[in-house]
Amino acid sequence: GSLEPDEPAFRETTPYAPNSPYSASKAASDHLVRAYRHTYGLPTLTTNCSNNYGPRQFPEKLIPLLILNGMEGKPLPIYGDGLNVRDWLFVEDHCNAIRKVLKWGRPGETYNIGARCEKTNLEVVRTVCKLLDELLPQSRFCPHESLITFVKDRPGHDRRYAMDSSKIEEELGWYPEETFLSGLRRTIRWYIENPEWVESVRSGAYREWMKRHYGIS
């Protein structure tokens, strides 16, 4: 589902309320796991995470898209008014949380994994631009904020996601180690230092996806 600005963050007990076919398919998978647990006693563990970012993320996702487009002087597309809110979680922190759940989680339980790091999309793109200016001071595209381009909002775009991670913090002692700024700096450095990887995933199919969803290639 989607949260209003003043609503509390999602807890493990928050009812499912998917607003798009994509989110409905993810909710269905959770229900299927729950059904196998109830019917067959399968020792299941379910985790719900907030938005991930980090090295090696495919360029269609928001943060690597912004990084790579910024490095190349291409538009930095932002859906709608840019005020949609997401909670951002560095991928290594997510992996550490999953390891703790696998080792110490209670079968049949659900654990939220979030970083308590809510940012609007506009805040995200401005932070990326600031770090690109810092890490690539000789770039002819500085200041990178000049590349920000607003595009038509996508259908079913939920306004806000936020995770309450109290359960995993209290029961399993997990907390994220990276701040948004430190994790984003690590991520940008990785993309700067690994252009070969970037080129290897930029197939013709990827360019078609970009043109279809953002109107750019």
pLDDT at 185: 99
165 within some domain: yes
Asked whether residue 6 is domain-assigned, the answer is no
pTM score of the predicted model: 0.89
Q: Assess if residue 5 is contained within a domain.
A: no
Q: d(Cα 25, Cα 123) in Å, to the nearest integer? A: 29
The 10 Å Cβ neighbour count of residue 169 is 17
Any domain includes 76:
yes
pLDDT band, very low/low/confident/very high, at 57 (cuts 50, 70, 90): very high
Asked whether 84 and 121 are in contact (CB, 8 A), the reply is yes
- The pLDDT assigned to 6 comes to 86
How many residues does the structure list for the chain?
217
Asked whether the beta carbons of 9 and 163 are under 8 A apart, the reply is: yes
CATH number of the structural domain spanning residue 85: 3.40.50.720
Cβ within 8 Å of residue 202, ≥6 positions away:
59
Asked whether residue 206 carries a pLDDT value surpassing 80, the answer given is no
Q: Is residue 47 part of a domain?
A: yes
Residues above pLDDT 70, as percent of the chain: 98
Contact 15, 27 (CB under 8 A): no
Q: Residue 3 domain-assigned?
A: no
Enter the tokens of residue 12: 């493990």
Question: Is 28 contained in some domain?
Answer: yes
Q: What average pLDDT does the segment 87-110 reach?
A: 98
Structure tokens at 63: 């943060």
Q: What is the mean pLDDT of residues 139-158?
A: 94
Q: Which of 19-28, 73-82, 83-92, 178-187 has the lowest mean pLDDT?
A: 19-28
Q: Is the pLDDT at 216 greater than 70, yes or no?
A: no
Domain count, the chain: 1
What residue numbers bound the domain in which 200 lies?
A: 21-214
C-alpha pair distances (Å), 15 with each of 10, 12, 184: 9, 8, 32
Q: For residue 86, name the pLDDT band (cuts at 50, 70, 90).
A: very high
Segment 18-27 shows an average pLDDT of 91
Exposed, middle or buried: residue 100 (CB in 10 Å: 0-12, 13-18, 19+)? middle
134 falls within a domain: yes
